[in-house]
């Protein structure tokens, strides 16, 4: 399969005899096409580009203006914007969680022992003596032949499930990819599956190692207002969702005469069946919710010969706004995250409009909102696409660029999912660079930016993350610089543009890479495929 892609690409770009009948070489992306956008969007006046905040309409207006200036076509029925309606829900515990079984009744404490919330636009929910059922990892997958809900109707029942997936911590790297996190390991998947199962509720047992973060992260993330899309699947789904502390889980299982460690072993074994815990749970929540909307900005260049086929670029324009003061600064500028990616995609669009010949396929640009609040803008687009999803050839997502200078390598997050890796490898080689596979595949970064929502609906996606192997200073230097950003600047007011410390040559290098990949795809008839081991698939067969 790789051979097919390579040969097509070679015909289009390297064979001099073919150039006259195919396409011109991609134009050169330069710093001055990126930096002004980056500086503008990272400016204090945008107030950290928080959706619904003062920086929201400013960011959207800036992007629309740039798209118009470049001569891009409006991507949403004559409009450059797509309104993304969202709802912010604050759940408050009105009755603590009580568990009843043959050992008696025990009351637990919100925050300390458990956190739950309600994702529905309802005023209150009441759970009265709902049966608790241990449903393994909460996974139902035809592809893996795995069903943690086998033979049970979850109506009026609350599922108690384990975090991560059955492969985690095991010896077999082919069983749910071993320590590589699959989508089935993410809490988001478990929430969605509980809705699909028609469960009354879902409780995920927290365990630090399998979750990848300690209890306080669960506690702080799931208390207070939660922003989401209003979706029918959620509105018709589980009343409560949340997490229970490992200590509470141990006590709950013991008090109902069950051995948690033995059940965990069972849950990792094919043929596992759900186990009723012989316990019931009661609790109540009240909900306050409000609705608001932000915008995705969408524009495109129409293809010359296959205009109905699209190469999709994405970058989230939003960041986290104004927050706690750190070193006298309260504006979280998000220069790297993601003014840099937005600027990069703008530069790619500009180059495309300046190419003498139009690409054969159309190229679609989505600048999405509310990534930081849970990938909401891209989720909305994936559920409400402006072109048919199956006409989208592939996605290239840019979230954060490399401010540390030119690199010999390029890290592909979620390496191994699709033929986009092979396509990237070909273009990297032309730049004299090499592919660095995902360095932290256990952390599930492939599920943590906008491309993931496109992958979920079947669009093969590429998400890169700079590199480590600095052209001049080597790997240790590259690693140090990356670690420094994560420790000091990630989601901090100091994520600012600084001419002294930023080396834009790496941003330009990657922008050129993203452009070249898109340019090749837009001038070919290749439909990159998902690899058979990936949990993602095209919605229906397109080719072959």
Question: In the complex, what is the shortest distance from the CB of residue 371 to Zn ion, in angstroms, rounded to a whole number?
Answer: 6
Q: Which region, judged by CB under 5 A, interacts with Zn ion, from 108-116, 300-308, 395-403, 521-529?
A: 395-403
Q: Which region, judged by CB under 5 A, interacts with Zn ion, from 150-158, 348-356, 394-402, 432-440?
A: 394-402
Which of 117, 77, 88, 41 is closest to 370 using CA atoms? 88
Q: Where are the alpha helices (DSSP H) in 28-123?
A: 35-41, 55-70
**Of 337 and 438, which CB lies nearer to Zn ion in the complex structure?**
337
**Of 317 and 415, which CB lies nearer to Zn ion in the complex structure?**
317
Contact 230, 74 (CB under 8 A): no
Cis status of the peptide bond prior to 338, with omega within 30 of 0: yes
**Of 119 and 338, which CB lies nearer to Zn ion in the complex structure?**
338
Q: Which region, judged by CB under 5 A, interacts with Zn ion, from 41-49, 152-160, 277-285, 331-339?
A: 331-339
In Å, how far are 114, 270, 377, 537 from 192, measured between CA atoms? 20, 22, 18, 18
Question: In the complex, what is the shortest distance from the CB of residue 315 to Zn ion, in angstroms, rounded to a whole number?
Answer: 9
> Please, what's the b/e burial string for 398-417 (b: 16 or more CB within 10 A of its CB; e: otherwise)?
bbbbbbbbbbbbbbbbbbeb
Question: In the complex, what is the shortest distance from the CB of residue 320 to Zn ion, in angstroms, rounded to a whole number?
Answer: 10
Q: Which region, judged by CB under 5 A, interacts with Zn ion, from 237-245, 337-345, 404-412, 418-426?
A: 337-345
In Å, how far are 123, 156, 239, 330 from 120, measured between CA atoms? 9, 16, 7, 32
Q: Which region, judged by CB under 5 A, interacts with Zn ion, from 156-164, 219-227, 356-364, 397-405?
A: 397-405
**Residue 535 interacting with Zn ion (CB under 5 A):** no
> Looking at 147, 148, 337, 427, which residue binds Zn ion (CB under 5 A)?
337
Question: In the complex, what is the shortest distance from the CB of residue 165 to Zn ion, in angstroms, rounded to a whole number?
Answer: 25
- Give the total of residues touching Zn ion (CB under 5 A): 3
Question: In the complex, what is the shortest distance from the CB of residue 400 to Zn ion, in angstroms, rounded to a whole number?
Answer: 6
Q: Which residue has the tokens 């003498």?
A: 356
**Of 52 and 176, which CB lies nearer to Zn ion in the complex structure?**
52
**Of 338 and 351, which CB lies nearer to Zn ion in the complex structure?**
338
Which three-class secondary structure state does DSSP give residue 511?
A: helix
Question: In the complex, what is the shortest distance from the CB of residue 339 to Zn ion, in angstroms, rounded to a whole number?
Answer: 10
Question: In the complex, what is the shortest distance from the CB of residue 449 to Zn ion, in angstroms, rounded to a whole number?
Answer: 6
Q: Which region, judged by CB under 5 A, interacts with Zn ion, from 226-234, 276-284, 338-346, 533-541?
A: 338-346
Which of 120, 64, 52, 82 is closest to 370 using CA atoms? 52
Q: Which region, judged by CB under 5 A, interacts with Zn ion, from 94-102, 147-155, 391-399, 463-471?
A: 391-399
| Virtual torsion, Cα 242, 248, 251, 255, nearest 10 deg | -40
Question: In the complex, what is the shortest distance from the CB of residue 534 to Zn ion, in angstroms, rounded to a whole number?
Answer: 23
The CA-based angle 290-292-297, given to 5 degrees, is 160
Site string for Zn ion, 405-444 (x = CB under 5 A): ----------------------------------------
Q: Which residue has the tokens 């390598």?
A: 409
Contact 525, 354 (CB under 8 A): no
For 295-360, give the secondary structure using H, E and C. EEEEEEECCCCEEEEEEEEEEECCCCCEEEEECCEEECCCHHHHHHHHHHHHHHHHHHHHCCCCCC
Question: In the complex, what is the shortest distance from the CB of residue 495 to Zn ion, in angstroms, rounded to a whole number?
Answer: 10
> Looking at 165, 379, 399, 469, which residue binds Zn ion (CB under 5 A)?
399
**Of 337 and 409, which CB lies nearer to Zn ion in the complex structure?**
337
Q: Where are the alpha helices (DSSP H) in 407-447?
A: 420-430
Contact 267, 160 (CB under 8 A): no
E strand or H helix that includes residue 473? none
**Of 186 and 529, which CB lies nearer to Zn ion in the complex structure?**
186
Contact 437, 488 (CB under 8 A): no
Question: In the complex, what is the shortest distance from the CB of residue 338 to Zn ion, in angstroms, rounded to a whole number?
Answer: 4
E strand or H helix that includes residue 372? none
**Of 12 and 448, which CB lies nearer to Zn ion in the complex structure?**
448
Question: In the complex, what is the shortest distance from the CB of residue 399 to Zn ion, in angstroms, rounded to a whole number?
Answer: 4
Which of 138, 188, 189, 193 is closest to 160 using CA atoms? 138
> Looking at 338, 366, 411, 418, which residue binds Zn ion (CB under 5 A)?
338
**Of 422 and 465, which CB lies nearer to Zn ion in the complex structure?**
465
Question: In the complex, what is the shortest distance from the CB of residue 319 to Zn ion, in angstroms, rounded to a whole number?
Answer: 8
| Binding footprint of Zn ion on the chain (CB under 5 A) | 337-338, 399
């Amino acid at each position: 399969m790789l051979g097919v892609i390579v040969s097509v690409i070679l015909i289009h770009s390297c064979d001099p005899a073919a150039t006259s009948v195919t396409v011109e070489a991609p134009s050169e992306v330069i710093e001055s096409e990126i930096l002004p956008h980056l500086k503008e969007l990272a400016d204090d006046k945008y107030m950290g580009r928080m959706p619904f905040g003062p920086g929201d309409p400013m960011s959207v207006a800036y992007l629309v203006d740039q798209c118009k200036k470049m001569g891009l076509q409006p991507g949403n029925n004559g409009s450059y914007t797509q309104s993304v309606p969202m709802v912010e829900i604050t759940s408050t515990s009105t009755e603590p969680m009580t568990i009843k079984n043959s050992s008696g009744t025990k009351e637990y404490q919100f925050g300390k022992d458990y956190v739950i919330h309600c994702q529905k636009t309802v005023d209150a929910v009441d759970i009265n003596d709902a049966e608790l059922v241990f449903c393994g990892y909460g996974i139902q997958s035809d592809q893996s032949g795995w069903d943690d809900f086998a033979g049970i109707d979850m109506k009026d029942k609350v599922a108690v499930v384990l975090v991560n997936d059955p492969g985690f911590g095991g010896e077999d790297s082919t069983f749910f990819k071993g320590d590589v996190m699959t989508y089935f390991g993410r809490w988001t998947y478990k929430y969605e599956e509980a809705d699909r199962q028609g469960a009354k509720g879902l409780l995920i047992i927290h365990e630090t190692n399998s979750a990848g973060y300690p209890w306080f992260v669960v506690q702080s993330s799931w208390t207070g207002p939660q922003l989401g899309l209003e979706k029918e699947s959620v509105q018709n789904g589980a009343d409560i969702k949340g997490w229970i502390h490992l200590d509470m889980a141990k006590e709950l299982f013991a008090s109902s005469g069950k051995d948690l460690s033995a059940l965990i072993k069972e849950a990792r074994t094919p043929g596992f069946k759900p186990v009723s815990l012989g316990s019931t749970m009661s609790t109540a929540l009240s909900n306050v919710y409000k609705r608001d909307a932000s915008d995705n900005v969408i524009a495109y260049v129409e293809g010359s010969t296959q205009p109905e086929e699209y190469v999709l670029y994405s970058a989230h324009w939003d960041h986290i706004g104004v927050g706690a003061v750190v070193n006298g600064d309260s504006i979280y500028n998000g220069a790297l995250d993601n003014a840099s990616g937005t600027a990069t995609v703008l530069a790619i669009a500009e180059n495309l409009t300046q190419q003498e010949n139009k690409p054969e396929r159309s190229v679609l640009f989505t600048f999405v909102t509310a990534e930081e609040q849970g990938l909401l803008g891209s989720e909305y687009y994936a559920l409400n696409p402006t072109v048919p999803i199956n006409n989208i050839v592939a996605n290239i997502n840019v979230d954060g660029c490399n401010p540390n200078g030119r690199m010999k390598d390029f890290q592909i997050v979620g390496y191994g999912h699709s033929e986009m890796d092979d396509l990237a490898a070909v273009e990297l080689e032309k730049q004299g660079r090499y592919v660095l596979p995902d360095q932290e595949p256990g952390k599930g970064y492939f599920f943590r930016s906008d491309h993931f929502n496109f992958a979920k609906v079947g669009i093969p996606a590429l998400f890169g993350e700079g590199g480590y192997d600095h052209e001049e200073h080597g790997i240790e230097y590259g690693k140090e610089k990356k670690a420094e950003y994560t420790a000091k600047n990630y989601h901090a007011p100091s994520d600012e543009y600084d001419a002294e410390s930023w080396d834009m040559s790496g941003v330009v290098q990657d922008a050129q890479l993203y452009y070249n990949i898109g340019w090749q795809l837009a001038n070919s008839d290749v439909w990159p495929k998902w690899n058979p081991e990936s949990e993602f698939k095209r919605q229906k067969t397109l080719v072959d």
